[in-house]
Structure 1
Amino acid sequence: MNKRWGIWFSAPVLAATLVACGDSGDESTEGANGESFVIGATQILEHPSLDAAYDGFQDAIEEAGLDVDYTFQSAQGDQNNTSTIANNFVSDGVDLIFANSTPSAISALQATQDIPIVFTSVTDPVGAGLVEGFDQPGENITGVSDLHPEAIDMTIQFIDEHFADSTVGLIYNTGESNSVVQVDAIKEAASGTSLSTVERTVATSADVQSATASLAEEADVIYLVTDNTVISALETIVGISNEQGIALVASDPDSLEKGAFAAYGTDFYTLGYQTGEKAVAILTGEQTPSEIPVESPAEINLVINREAAEAQGIEWKDEWDLAADAYESTK
């Protein structure tokens, strides 16, 4: 596997609204025992982070030499659609479900106790009721969380060091449990620092523009959590941040491609690859889901977008050069 980022820090209905395709378009190779498999891939919507996770998942499967056909369905941002997708996969008798987001994973588990499920892009799998603990996966479910245990603390430290005495703006959908968990953790991490926080909530991606414009009246920095509703409208947030001179800090490096300034987070391609490795173990019969612990991201990385820094009126610091070079090397 080739990691996409250069510097790493190791740390101790519906039919009309669904996008579906019978095959991913990737060439598959025949497995050693001649078996072929069908994987149902479900995600809440299509945006760079989730798409990168799906790419990584498929690459892990391909590199293992399995013969796999994919059925991909996006819920197009509507959590109600995730149930229909999961139920369709169960009816079709897929061999495994790849659930790429918290709503997708919850619906998959509600739909089946028999078909193996591997999830990723899930911030709090325990709080979401997917598993009892990281070392206690379910009978038919396991996966990879997208939140490194130290990512939020390190991001808050970065903001406090370089944007001291700032008001940090948070925008999120309260209907996404993963977002609520992150926002609560951010507020706890910010206590005792020079930072204060202010929040705006949204229900749909259509709300993001007005919420961000309102947030910009109070915030010096915007810190984006991995909220699917908000990230789907990332271009809007970038535009307002650039116009108002607000530093835009993200939770995933993929957001830098759209114009975020910095991210101290997880490479979603790598998350997907980790998840794909678990799927290989299950499909080949090497392990059952109940034998595979849930994992956190193996590593986190800091990347910085020079162009975004300039667009947002951020004074450049020489100590950011390595993180900027790391980002440039991925383009």
Structure 2
Amino acid sequence: MKKSLLVKGMVAVVASTLIMSSAFAAEMKRIAISTIVEVPALLDTKNGIIEGLAERGYIVGKNLEVDYQNANGKMDTQLAIAKKFIGNRPDVLVPITTPTSQAMIAGNKDIPVVFATVTDPIKAKLISRYIKPGANVTGVSDAAPIVNQLELFKKIVPGLKKIGFIYNPGLDNALATLGWMQEEGAKMGIEVIESPAPTTNEVLIATKKLVGKVDAIYVPNDTTVISAIAAIIKIGQDTDTPIFTGETGHVESGAIGSVGIDYLGVGKIAGHMVADVLDGKNPGDIDAVIAYKVLTEFKVVLNKAAAEKMGVTLSDEVLSMATEVFE
């Protein structure tokens, strides 16, 4: 009798444990995050995604499992990561950057996708429209506030008439930014001089080609070009050519300045979208957004020492506009 009760008790404990384990497994959500390369803006985006999810009650280690992988700038690695992630079938795929998003969507038919830090998702063929994009994809564009940037650059370099633009012509986000800069620059009397660099090894040559032909050089959020930002800045210092960037994170590294969005904020917006999907919403019913139209403030970041090394003095008026100044 006692043995029978003991056995029943053990069975009950095991059954209870299995039920609890099953309940825990059912509650645990899985997302997969990847980026083509790790630079400050993209790491901020990733951290913002995690923070945004936490604000909605999805906590890593508690009810959320995150698989994060970085392709280290290699597209073949990115494609392999995409294949692995799709095979693992997480609840949501969260690609950061345009090439990463394209890789995740290319081989995926039904897993929900929330992209982040993609300059022009329509040009990149990730979505066909921002409002209720349909299918299984939505996300956040990090299109640069080009008008605000050009206005700042003109204040720093009053005689700005020609600005160099280094980019990888194979990247949709770079082409989109080039188009916007040409359009807005024309309205301000600024000519954009292109200098393509299909690979990181060609960035140095592309930069040198612009020296003496332009009043300043602009480095967009182009992962190919950004990988060589230190070399670009060195050329700017050696030739007194002002270097500006599309992303504020590179100002501390030696660019003169930029107007940018808060990439932690971009990530948080995406994180809330991911939470919506985990809550059961169809990503195609969630409006994709352009971050600078949603975020209330821009960051104006300047580097006084960098400006001096490139033969530029930042006026008191310009410095008063800054939210952050590196001395």
Name the TM-score, length of structure 2 as normaliser. 0.84
Match of 2:271 among 262, 268, 276: 276
- What is the deviation of 1:65? 2.9
Tell me which of 24, 37, 52 is aligned to 1:45.
37
User: Contact 1:253–1:262 at 8 Å: present in 2 too?
Assistant: yes
The SS at the match of 1:138 is coil
Does the 8 Å contact 1:304/1:323 carry over to 2?
no
Instruction: Kindly provide the amino acid, as one letter, of the partner of residue 96 in structure 1.
Output: V
Question: Segments of 4+ in structure 1 off by > 3 A?
Answer: 31-34
Which of 317, 324, 327 matches 1:327? 324
Root-mean-square deviation (Å): 2.2
Q: How far off its partner does 1:216 sit?
A: 2.1
- CA separation of 1:147 and 1:241: change in aligned 2, threshold 3 A: same
Aligned with 1:160 (options 138, 141, 154): 154
Shift of 1:179: 0.3
> What is the letter of the counterpart of residue 172 of structure 2?
S
Q: Distance in 2 between matches of 1:192 and 1:118?
A: 34
Q: Give 1:192 deviation, angstroms.
A: 4.3
Give the letter for the 1:152 counterpart: I
Q: Which has the larger radius of gyration?
A: 2
Alignment of 1:31-42 (within 5 A): 35-42=27-34
Aligned residue for 2:304?
A: 306
Q: In the alignment, is residue 257 of structure 1 matched against residue 255 of structure 2? A: no
SS at match of 1:124: coil
In 1, Cα distance between equivalents of 2:319 and 2:185: 26
TM superposition shift of 1:328: 4.2
The higher-RCO structure (CA 8 Å, 6+ apart) is 1
AA of the residue aligned to 2:206: A
Residue in structure 1 matching 2:49, options 42, 57, 71 = 57
Query: How far did residue 269 of structure 1 move?
Result: 1.5
Query: In the alignment, is residue 124 of structure 1 matched against residue 120 of structure 2?
Result: yes
Q: Give 1:312's aligned amino acid.
A: M
Inter-partner Cα distance in structure 2 for 1:177 and 1:127? 7
Q: How does 1:221-240 map to 2 (within 5 A)?
A: 221-240=216-235
Letter in 2 for 1:319: E
Deviation at 1:172, TM superposition (A): 0.3
* Percentage of pairs with the same residue: 28
Aligned partner of 2:129 in structure 1 is 133
Flag structure 2 segments of 5+ consecutive residues without an equivalent: 1-22
Name 1:6's counterpart in structure 2.
none
Tell me how far 1:189 sits from its aligned partner.
1.5
d(CA) in 2 for partners of 1:32 and 1:280?
A: 18
- Count how many residue pairs are aligned between Structure 1 and Structure 2: 296
State the SS of the aligned residue for 1:133: coil
Give 1:90 shift.
1.2
Change (3 A) 1:32 1:191: farther
Partner of 1:15: none
Question: Residue 313 of structure 1 aligns to a residue in which SS?
Answer: coil
User: What's 1:72 paired with?
Assistant: 68
TM-score, reference length from structure 1: 0.83
1:192 to 1:291, Cα distance in 2 relative to 1, 3 A: closer
